[in-house]
Amino acid sequence: MEENNLNELDPSFAQPPPERGIFCNRTLNLRSLRAIGYDMDYTLIHYHIHAWEARAYEYVRLSLAGRGWPVQDLVFDPDLAIRGLIVDTRLGNVVKANRFGYIKRAYHGTCPLDFDTQRRTYSRTIIDLNDRRWVVHNTLFSLSRSCIYMQLVDLMDRQALPEVLGYAELYDTVRNTLSQAHMEGKLKGEIVAAPKRFVDLDPDTPAALLDQKEAGKKILLITNSDWAYTRAMMSYSFDRFLPAAMTWRELFDLVIISARKPEFFAGTSPVFEIVTEEGLLQSCPAGIQKSGIFMGGNASLVEEFLHCHGSDILYVGDHIYGDVHQSKNVRRWRTALILRELEAEIRELTEFRKEQAVLSELMGRKDEAEIQLARLRLAQQRAGRIGRSVPGETSAVLAKSIRRRQQEIARLDEEITPLARAAGQLLNPHWGLLMRTGNDKSYLARQVERHADIYSSRVSNFLVQTPFLSFRSHRGSLPHDPLSAQSWDEEESN
């Protein structure tokens, strides 16, 4: 068989569209890994975001209505927030920041701050997540929370809420309402009863894990969800796509439920084995001694069981702090982040490519015109230096040139403004792209870069990349790179 005919042998080797790639921040050789661990919710199992978040929103709304709050007219707006936004609980704002933590876009309630107000409020502010003032919304589970918080800030400003609260207490109320155990339990009960409505099946995910298992990797599931929910969801999403007589349980060497991540990575919690279908627990004072299904525990016990060091294990999750930041920081596990919105983001960027080229060309012309204007201004200033006699003619020529450049810049701005506005509304009309703020990387992009060795839109993208591939990090660009090197690098990445 010719090598080129591999696609005919197995269509899964066909080149995937760009949005289904796996992107590399730090070189990672899949072949040398000994174990791959997975989070479940929004990693192995994807939910129809609007269906799930609309239900979660409804639970909070009904709970607040029960407290007498005037929330009967509130409706979940899936466009009001994106992943990676940060709540300023002191001022009741939701903001998007760049990679340095400077705030580039802000909403108070559901209204955008105008340019001057934003500058007055935040020009001297850098986000520091150690300060309880800021809460970052890093998962898809937080979209409903951002939305209802923004809407409630509007009500609070109109003094329509029956309780006197500050913006921070209002945020705590929303957070506590959704995380109340019974609320989460009810929601999960609804999902187990009607998984078709909520779960977005992907037949390639079990296939990708099967490839990895057959390549000799230990496959782990480490989830914060409980046993009943995990069993129902995994069975629904995996069993139908696995070979006959195989269920999801045979796929995994180790299943850990109720893991309490992120504490799982640093903690010393004891582990219990689940010994019956109903979830009966048996203590394991000697740690994890064999494959099976366990509750709680900690990452040290996993490493001991696998006889692995941190760098032998890849952990794949969708939560930048709970899954990826802690596993890397504390255990030095290798990390992969799942960001489903990347698919829409990359599609939008691809569609906008022509306009982006025009925008970049116009910005280049504006930069050049501004340099010329600056030089003319300096020439005028030097010409006017006391004691220096300047021919009137020279002065008039300079003034005329300055006016001409100013007009040129104004004309360019007229062309640039609508294109820049369109670029700022890609993916989301309020917040724009996930990974960028204007020309710069977003705060989220910086976190991804720091904590995730690789990132991708979904686990099934591993199907094409195979368990034997080595990902090499991108050369990256720096502002001082010679132009030719920059374009060479861009070409290489295309």
User: Binding of Mg ion at residue 143 (CB under 5 A)?
Assistant: no
4 to 43: interface string for Mg ion, x by CB under 5 A:
-----------------------------------x-xx-
> Which residues 36-55 are close enough to bind Mg ion by CB under 5 A?
39, 41-42
> Which residues 297-336 are close enough to bind Mg ion by CB under 5 A?
318
Bond prior to 467 in cis (omega within 30° of 0): no
CB 45 to Mg ion: min, Å: 9
- Produce one character per residue of 56-83: b if its CB has 16 or more CB atoms within 10 Å, e if not: bbbbbbebbeeeebebeebebbeebbbb
Tokens describing residue 346: 């990359």
> Which residues 192-231 are close enough to bind Mg ion by CB under 5 A?
none
Q: Which of 453, 456, 426 is nearest to 438 (CA)?
A: 426
CB 251 to Mg ion: min, Å: 18
CB 207 to Mg ion: min, Å: 21
User: Which is nearer to Mg ion, 89 or 142 (by Cβ)?
Assistant: 142
Please identify the residue of the shown chain whose CB is closest to the bound Mg ion. Answer: 41
CB 1 to Mg ion: min, Å: 40
> Which residues 243-272 are close enough to bind Mg ion by CB under 5 A?
none
CB 97 to Mg ion: min, Å: 23
Beta strands 199-200 and 46-47, pairing class: antiparallel
Task: Give Cα 12 distance to the centre of its chain.
Answer: 27
CB 305 to Mg ion: min, Å: 22
Number of residues that bind Mg ion (CB under 5 A): 4
User: Which is nearer to Mg ion, 112 or 195 (by Cβ)?
Assistant: 195
102: which DSSP letter? Answer: B
> What would you report as the CA-atom Rg of the chain, rounded to the nearest whole angstrom?
27
d(CA 273, CA 142): 31
Cβ contacts of 409 within 8 Å, gap of 6 or more: 366, 369, 370, 373
User: Which is nearer to Mg ion, 39 or 88 (by Cβ)?
Assistant: 39
435: which DSSP letter? Answer: S
CB 124 to Mg ion: min, Å: 36
| Sequence letter at residue 319 | H
User: Which is nearer to Mg ion, 44 or 369 (by Cβ)?
Assistant: 44
CB 225 to Mg ion: min, Å: 9
Bond prior to 11 in cis (omega within 30° of 0): no
CB 40 to Mg ion: min, Å: 6
User: Which is nearer to Mg ion, 104 or 319 (by Cβ)?
Assistant: 319
User: Which is nearer to Mg ion, 329 or 401 (by Cβ)?
Assistant: 329
At residue 270, φ and ψ (nearest 5 deg) are: -70, 160
User: Which is nearer to Mg ion, 153 or 313 (by Cβ)?
Assistant: 313
User: Which is nearer to Mg ion, 253 or 318 (by Cβ)?
Assistant: 318
d(CA 129, CA 121): 18
> Which residues 368-427 are close enough to bind Mg ion by CB under 5 A?
none
Q: Which of 288, 299, 316, 227 is nearest to 263 (CA)?
A: 299
d(CA 388, CA 386): 5
Q: Give the residues lining the site for Mg ion (CB under 5 A).
A: 39, 41-42, 318
